[in-house]
Structure 1
Amino acid sequence: MGLFPTQTAPPVESIEPAHAEQADTAIGDPHRRRIYPWLVAALAFALLLSDYMSRQVLSAVFPILKADWALSDSQLASLTSVVALMVGLLTFPLSVLADRWGRVRSLVIMAVAWSIATLGCAIASNYEQMLAARFFVGIGEAAYGSVGIAVVLSVFSPRLHSSLSGAFMAGGSFGSVVGVALGGVIAANLGWRWSFTAMAVLGLILAALFRAVVTESRLARYAIHDEPVAPSAPVIRVSVSTLFTNTAVWCAYLAGGFQMFTTAVLLSWTPSFFNRCYGMTLDKAAGVAAMFVLLVATGMVVCGMITDRVSRADPAHKWMTGVVFCAISLIALGIGFRLGTGVPQLILLGIGAFFSAGCSGPIAAMVASLTHESVRSSALGTLTMANNLLGLALGPFIIGILADRLGLLESLQLAPLSYIVAIVALLVGKRVYPAGLRKLAAQSTASA
């Protein structure tokens, strides 16, 4: 497993006459102005679904691989964590490259790469080959989240950014739902290799569709900038180093990473939890786990909308909504995993899952509001790096290692403690937020 436009639109004079005429038409037509941004968002969201379907389908076939290849829980966890590890290591440099080289081109190449690597998973014959294929899945998916959300937010007003960020990031969970549920059904009926094949083919189809509809020139015509831009105004850029000199941004990075720790555990280990603790068959465990992942995704969307509403008068309220969401999940999951199997446990786990990633949207919006638009993909790439290294890679792997020693249930009981670190980071971030905004203003003025 994030915001605002990363590139300033080129001057109108630099656009070819035919394109300039199209730009005038598009801007003068309110209907077209409304439709195209949502089309961009829909296609980017669909590719994100494919991204996480390819990533999380593995969880649905954990029991099969464990039995067929005699794998330990830590080996299973490594197959999940290697993807997040590569995303964490490569998302920042690839996001910087996308800011300079072209975001649309970068997104298409990423989608093709992870889809081909997923086909590699389908033909793997042992643990080592599967690990290598998953390694390349991670390389392909590395910067999609950060660059994709930057593309989406570049054509929408800032007043919708928390909602859009939460919805876009929820695409990871929605993709995980489909990947786990569909992967489990396909594996039970056709074999686990066809689960990976189906995800790969879908990714290639969506990549071709995205390339046909979304272009850099169209995005430039529909871009909404942080500040009004005169047609002849020079392009303002700030140094990438500004992403690491703002204390408030650092707090957002840390909060994002540690709140994603438990979310990643839920995404990866709930099918095995229901298989082992509730005695469910592979396809049924995957289906029930998918419902909980759906709660995670729905919570990201709803919590993003709630945050936009309560922070309308004061953007600093985004920090506190994040604290509330983390606290609810900490309590609900902390108690739920300690109860015996049954309805009360499922209810508490459902509540915890709903709020588990609720502050993802607010955190991404905070990162965007504290960084200049010219380096925004890079900023979101840094957030994605934190989310993956501290959460998506670290969470499932640590729980896998602990499960080999303590048991899966006992390990899951410890996972929610990561929210304590996230809450501390959010509280500190709220305190230093005004100073962070002043530093951003100073950076923009100095670069003008």
Structure 2
Amino acid sequence: MIRWKNYPRSVLAMLLVIHVLAHIDRNMLLGFSPQITRDLALSNAQYGLLVGAVWVLSYGVMAVFMGTLADRFSRTRVMAVGILIWSVCTAASGAAHNFEQMVVARFLVATGEAALVPAAVSLLTELFSAQRRSTAVGVFFMGIPLGVGLSFLLAGTLGVTQGWRGTFYLLGMIGAVIAVCLLLFKDRRDAHEASPRGAPFVQQVRGTLDAIRITPAVLWTIIGFAVVNVVFAGLSFVQLWLVRERGFDAAAIARQIGLLQIMFGVLGSAVGGVLGDRLGNRMRGGHANVIVAMILLCGPLMVAYRFAQPGSPLFYTGMCASFFLPLALYGPALSVMHTLTPPQMRSTVTGFAMLLLNIFAIAMGSAAVGAISDRLNIAGSSHALTTALLGTDFLVIASAGFFLLVAAKVRANTPCPSGGQLAPQCQCSQ
């Protein structure tokens, strides 16, 4: 058997490719939205359910369940089964002929994809040292902007020759092959001190909730992480806002948004991960202080962007900051969670974080932006979306408060300098 764990960078590259594929499969529905809504005769409301509630209900809940499986059994096999499920159902999406069939297919795609992040982040935490962990997780989460961008690119290129159905079939076959190959990499957890097994589902959930309860820094990190991801609710409406209230051409601004989101999303993942490792390991507040610094740097730019002259340097700086910030926080935030969590609970804790993120930031956040802007429109406001999106920006800035609490807790337990280094468990900082 290949000693694949001796090659952590190769494992990271493999997981990045899988993560990119996951977000291509997830977002192909967006890339082909005009064709799919036409061919299946979907209303706007039905399409909204497919990309919103159907996905969130499955992915959010199943992330916890898949996380417990990844803590108890082989993480590579949990991922392989998840990839196989979402790939088969991606192909099934291409065979759907009505709304109901597409709902079932997309629900199960989300179920399969829920297996990836908890298992992959736990595996990376084991393979990379604390000094490199944030960078590794940041590289892994480059899969989000790369996958989103490539989904639109493939829809505009491959879709021309294969159509949306043929593209879904092809993606499903590619994923199935990857799933079978991943089964060759065995993740032995028994008799391995560094990777103890988790408990059965109910016991594991109870134990993880107890661990979160008695470790406030983990709870504050999860809450802060969910709140800062409200920025994604704002990004869901950014094109509508720019067209309706800032006067941009829809096609032109869509191309700009896609390009800038790929560039600055990837940059955010890389820079946030590297800064988390290089600065977080030297600062008394650890990675949490790095997170606070990035929020306080980008947050005001995002607010200024709402009022800046369209097309001005400040306008584009704020737009790029909104693409940069959320991805920049994945590496350091997940590093904080996993550093403070027992190894046998790391995937489950990640699952809880994904659950809260999907329900609060994506589902409730998007619904709130839509509802608030609709009410303001009815009241006669000419800047309804601007006002609603400012609310998401201020929530993002407010999330810094949770990470300040984490930094204070970490600082209270940070060892004192000894010969230029920090010796473990010294409490004289108080």
Range of TM-score over shorter length? 0.7 to 0.9
Q: Deviation digits for residues 22-44 of structure 1, max 9, x if unmatched?
A: 8xxx6xxxxx875x222221212
Distance 1:366 1:315, change over 3 A: farther
Which residue in the other structure is 2:91 paired with? 119
Q: Deviation digits for residues 151-202 of structure 1, max 9, x if unmatched?
A: 1221221211111122222322222221233234444565433443343233
Which residue in the other structure is 1:39 paired with? 10
**1:415 partnered with 2:402:** no
Q: Deviation digits for residues 91-133 of structure 1, max 9, x if unmatched?
A: 1222112211221111100001111222232233344433332
Which of 332, 342, 348 is the matching residue for 2:301? 332
TM-superposed deviation, 1:250: 0.4
**1:395 partnered with 2:372:** no
Contact (CA 8 Å) 1:103, 1:147: kept in 2 or not?
A: yes
Identity %: 21
TM-superposed deviation, 1:272: 5.9
Larger relative contact order (Cα-Cα within 8 Å, sequence gap ≥ 6): 1
TM-superposed deviation, 1:404: 5.5
Contact (CA 8 Å) 2:286, 2:411: kept in 1 or not?
A: no
TM-score (norm 1): 0.77
**1:253 partnered with 2:225:** no
Distance 1:83 1:290, change over 3 A: farther
Q: Deviation digits for residues 219-263 of structure 1, max 9, x if unmatched?
A: 889x8949xxxxxxx989994332332111100100111112213
| Letter matched to residue 177 of structure 1 | G
Distance 1:401 1:235, change over 3 A: closer
TM-superposed deviation, 1:325: 1.7
Contact (CA 8 Å) 1:300, 1:357: kept in 2 or not?
A: yes
TM-superposed deviation, 1:315: 5.7
**1:432 partnered with 2:403:** no
| Letter matched to residue 28 of structure 2 | V
Equivalents in 2 of 1:54, 1:183: separation in Å? 11
Which of 134, 146, 150 is the matching residue for 2:106? 134
Equivalents in 2 of 1:292, 1:274: separation in Å? 15
Contact (CA 8 Å) 1:329, 1:416: kept in 2 or not?
A: no
Which residue in the other structure is 1:84 paired with? 56
Which of 151, 154, 174 is the matching residue for 1:202? 174
Contact (CA 8 Å) 2:135, 2:274: kept in 1 or not?
A: yes
- Corresponding residue SS for 1:367: helix
Equivalent positions of 1:361-400 (< 5 A) are 361-400=331-370
**1:181 partnered with 2:160:** no
| Letter matched to residue 418 of structure 1 | L
| Letter matched to residue 409 of structure 2 | V
Equivalents in 2 of 1:395, 1:62: separation in Å? 22
Contact (CA 8 Å) 1:327, 1:423: kept in 2 or not?
A: yes
Distance 1:189 1:235, change over 3 A: closer
- Corresponding residue SS for 1:357: helix
- List gaps (5 residues or longer) in structure 1: 1-18, 27-31, 227-233, 443-448
Contact (CA 8 Å) 1:251, 1:425: kept in 2 or not?
A: yes
**1:48 partnered with 2:13:** no
Equivalents in 2 of 1:328, 1:73: separation in Å? 37
Which residue in the other structure is 1:308 paired with? 277
Structure 1 vs Structure 2 CA RMSD: 3.5
Distance 1:251 1:62, change over 3 A: same
Which of 323, 327, 333 is the matching residue for 1:357? 327
- List gaps (5 residues or longer) in structure 2: 378-383, 416-423, 426-430
Equivalents in 2 of 1:340, 1:65: separation in Å? 36
Equivalents in 1 of 2:231, 2:49: separation in Å? 14
TM-superposed deviation, 1:424: 1.7
Report the more deviating stretch, 291-300 or 38-47.
291-300
Q: Deviation digits for residues 282-307 of structure 1, max 9, x if unmatched?
A: 9x835742431441232022111012
| Letter matched to residue 426 of structure 1 | F
Which of 97, 100, 104 is the matching residue for 2:76? 104
- Corresponding residue SS for 1:351: helix
Contact (CA 8 Å) 1:81, 1:397: kept in 2 or not?
A: no
| Letter matched to residue 354 of structure 2 | T
Contact (CA 8 Å) 2:5, 2:127: kept in 1 or not?
A: no
Equivalents in 2 of 1:168, 1:224: separation in Å? 25
TM-score (norm 2): 0.80
